[in-house]
């Protein structure tokens, strides 16, 4: 009897083992289904339609690719895909499912079943649809995808991206990372009137597509942000991106090899994006000083600014430290719509920053700070914010530190009366190293034996 029970147990174990193999993904059922799909493909039951990210001949970005990507990642059937990626969403507690490269996802529309394949190497989506269903559902299906993706964008569910030039790609393409910069117009220490004017202008731009086209103009807007380093130009760009819900393209002119590369990069940008050209004045000065001109010409840059290539639904932002000695052709109306000056910090801006960083609207030391500012002495927003962050637990200590920096005298240090506002003729040297040493001295002095650290929410770059 015991022998029979043992034999029965062994047979049961073997049966369960074979059943597991049969039902497992790499087992018989999976293999049979795969062979069946291959047979159908071989018999031309299905037709395959490709949607590339870039159009082959012009390398122009294909907007349909972005729409389909938004749609596919919204499908509940992505959970049934063989492999999916789990990533964080906009908030740290949000978990988002994304389609794994080279995997198949199924969708149903008007009683027909279609399949999507994500070819990561070719950067394309492939739609697999039965020939008998194609004529009946293809156009309505694509219109449905566009409608759903537009709704996702309007609801603000699309994650913003920061694009940078990929040095590892010889054709110079973009690579992207999530754009998570927290800057908003509400957190910016700028005049309320200016802030409201910019928000109103951007809101009007979003609704002005038909108006621009009626005038025969490209639907784009361009800004020039100029002023000393550390005055908030990059944070302002981030605030614009978060306000518009636009992606950001960080365009480093020194890394672009030729006019052709610049055109190709511009064609690859997507609608609903901000194209940022930082330190334009430095590039122009270097181009003039260099005996051997760079391959990227000024005429190519002017064409870029004019929007001769496709720039629909885009905002262009150029940053400079100074507008002096810049060819007026680069700054004329039509190429640059709005000029915004970012000066060094004044007392009004200081009070706004004290409220944002320290939670202080009034303080007995404000009188002393105001006196120093009225003498023409000042610091950049970044310098003041750093001192406030380091001493954020003690508003009095933070304000005293700022007063000390403004009044400090000695070799290699700023002197009251000599720190004044940077004019248009000032040199490009920021003295950042001296400030870093000064911050370390103040931090050690005020920490009372402890050490304090803080994350610096710096500019985009």
**Model pLDDT, residue 13:** 85
pLDDT tens digits, one per residue of 256-313:
878 888 888 888 888 899 999 988 888 888 877 764 455 677 777 887 787 666 678 8
Tokens of 218: 């490209």
The number of residues making up the chain comes to 461
Which domains are delineated in the chain? 28-154 (no CATH), 161-341 (3.40.50.300), 347-446 (no CATH)
Residue 253 confidence (pLDDT): 87
- Give the pLDDT score at 235: 92
Task: Name which of 294, 291, 267 is nearest 283 in CA terms.
Answer: 294
3 state SS for 409-450: CCCCCCCCCCCCCCCCCCCCCCCHHHHHHHHHHHHHHHCCCC
Residue 396: which residues within 8 A CB-CB, separation 6 or more?
A: 363, 365
Residues of the chain above pLDDT 70, percent: 72
Give pLDDT, residue 234: 92
Kindly tell me if the per-residue pLDDT of 433 is higher than 60: no
Q: Please count the other Cβ atoms lying within 10 Å of the Cβ belonging to residue 138.
A: 17
Average pLDDT estimate for 53-61: 70
Higher pLDDT, 321 or 439: 321
Tell whether the model's pLDDT for residue 23 goes beyond 80. no
At 430, the pLDDT band (50, 70, 90 cuts) reads very low
- In this prediction, residue 418 carries a pLDDT of 34
What local confidence, expressed as pLDDT, does residue 428 receive? 33
Non-local (6+) Cβ contacts of 288 within 8 A are none
Q: What is the DSSP letter of 368?
A: H
Q: pLDDT grade, residue 196 (50/70/90)?
A: very high
pLDDT tops 80 at residue 212 = yes
Residue 431 pLDDT greater than 80, yes or no: no
At residue 171 the predicted structure's pLDDT band, cuts being 50, 70 and 90, is low
Round to whole Å and give the CA distance between 364 and 115: 69
Rounded mean pLDDT, 319-343: 88
The more confidently predicted of residues 94 and 446 is 94
Roughly what angle, to the nearest 10 degrees, separates helices 2-23 and 28-42?
30
**Residue of 298 and 24 predicted with greater confidence:** 298
Question: pTM of the prediction?
Answer: 0.69
Confidence of residue 31 (pLDDT cuts 50, 70, 90): low
Range scoring the smallest mean pLDDT among 165-169, 248-252, 265-269, 283-287: 165-169
End-to-end Cα spacing for the chain: 79
Q: Which residues of 19-31 are buried (b: 16+ CB within 10 A; e: fewer)?
A: eeeeeeeeeeeee
Put the strands of the sheet holding 247-251 in their side by side order.
Answer: 174-178, 161-165, 247-251, 273-277, 314-320, 220-226, 338-341
Q: pLDDT confidence of 118, banded at 50, 70, 90?
A: confident
| Per-residue pLDDT band at 447 (split at 50, 70, 90) | very low
Residue 456 has what pLDDT? 36
| Rounded-to-integer distance, Cα 220 and Cα 238, Å | 18
| Contacts within 8 Å (CB) and 24+ apart, 407-415 | 407/372, 408/438, 413/438, 414/379
Q: Which residue has the tokens 């490709």?
A: 50
Q: For the chain, what percentages of helix, strand and coil (3-state, to nearest 5) are there?
A: 45, 15, 40
How confident is the model at residue 426, as a pLDDT? 37
Per-residue pLDDT of 332-345, as tens digits, reads 887 899 999 999 88
> What pLDDT score does 419 carry?
34
Contact 374, 380 (CB under 8 A): no
Average pLDDT on 172-199 reads 88
Residue 420 scores a pLDDT above 50: no
The pLDDT-based confidence of 153 (bands split at 50, 70, 90) is confident
Mean pLDDT of the chain: 77
Distance between CA atoms of 134 and 141, rounded to whole angstroms? 10
The percent of residues in the chain predicted with pLDDT above 90, rounded, is 18
Q: Is the pLDDT of residue 95 over 80?
A: no
């Amino acid at each position: 009897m015991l022998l029979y029970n043992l034999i029965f147990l062994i047979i049961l174990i073997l049966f369960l083992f074979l059943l597991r193999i049969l039902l497992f993904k790499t087992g018989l059922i999976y293999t049979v289904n795969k062979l069946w799909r291959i047979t159908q493909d071989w018999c031309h039951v299905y037709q395959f339609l490709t949607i590339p990210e870039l159009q082959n001949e012009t390398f122009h970005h294909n907007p349909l690719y972005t729409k389909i990507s938004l749609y596919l990642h919204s499908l509940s059937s992505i959970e049934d895909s063989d492999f999916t990626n789990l990533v964080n969403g906009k908030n740290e507690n949000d978990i988002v499912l994304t389609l794994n490269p080279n995997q198949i996802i199924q969708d149903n529309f008007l009683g027909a079943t279609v399949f999507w394949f994500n070819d990561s190497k070719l950067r394309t989506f492939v739609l697999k649809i039965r020939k008998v269903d194609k004529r009946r559902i293809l156009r309505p299906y694509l219109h449905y995808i566009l409608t759903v993706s537009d709704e996702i964008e309007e609801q603000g569910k699309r994650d913003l991206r920061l694009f940078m030039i990929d040095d590892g790609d010889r054709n110079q393409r973009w690579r992207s990372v999530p754009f998570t910069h927290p800057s908003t117009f509400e957190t910016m220490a700028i005049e309320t009137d200016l802030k409201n004017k910019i928000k109103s202008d951007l809101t009007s731009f979003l609704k002005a597509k038909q108006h621009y086209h009626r005038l025969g103009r490209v639907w784009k807007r361009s800004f020039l942000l100029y002023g000393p380093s550390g005055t908030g130009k990059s944070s302002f760009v981030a605030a614009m991106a978060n306000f518009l819900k636009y992606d950001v393209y960080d365009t480093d002119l020194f890394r672009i090899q030729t006019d052709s590369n610049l055109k190709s990069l511009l064609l690859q940008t997507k609608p609903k994006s901000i194209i940022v050209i930082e330190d334009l004045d430095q590039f122009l000065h270097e181009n003039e000083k260099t005996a051997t001109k760079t391959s990227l010409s000024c005429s190519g840059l002017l064409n870029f600014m004019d929007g001769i290539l496709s720039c629909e639904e885009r905002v262009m932002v150029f940053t400079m430290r100074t507008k002096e000695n810049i060819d007026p052709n680069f700054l004329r109306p039509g190429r640059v719509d709005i000029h915004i000056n970012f000066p060094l910090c004044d007392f009004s801006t200081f009070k706004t920053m004290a409220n944002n960083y320290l939670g202080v609207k009034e303080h007995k030391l404000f009188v002393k700070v105001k006196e120093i500012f009225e003498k023409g002495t000042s610091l950049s927003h970044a310098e003041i914010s750093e001192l406030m962050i380091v001493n954020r637990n003690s508003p009095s200590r933070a304000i005293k530190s700022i007063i000390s920096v403004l009044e400090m005298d000695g070799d290699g240090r700023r002197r009251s009366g000599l720190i004044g506002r940077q004019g248009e003729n000032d040199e490009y040297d920021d003295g950042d190293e001296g400030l870093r040493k000064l911050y370390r001295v103040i931090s050690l002095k005020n920490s009372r034996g402890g050490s304090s650290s803080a994350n610096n929410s710096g500019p985009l770059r």
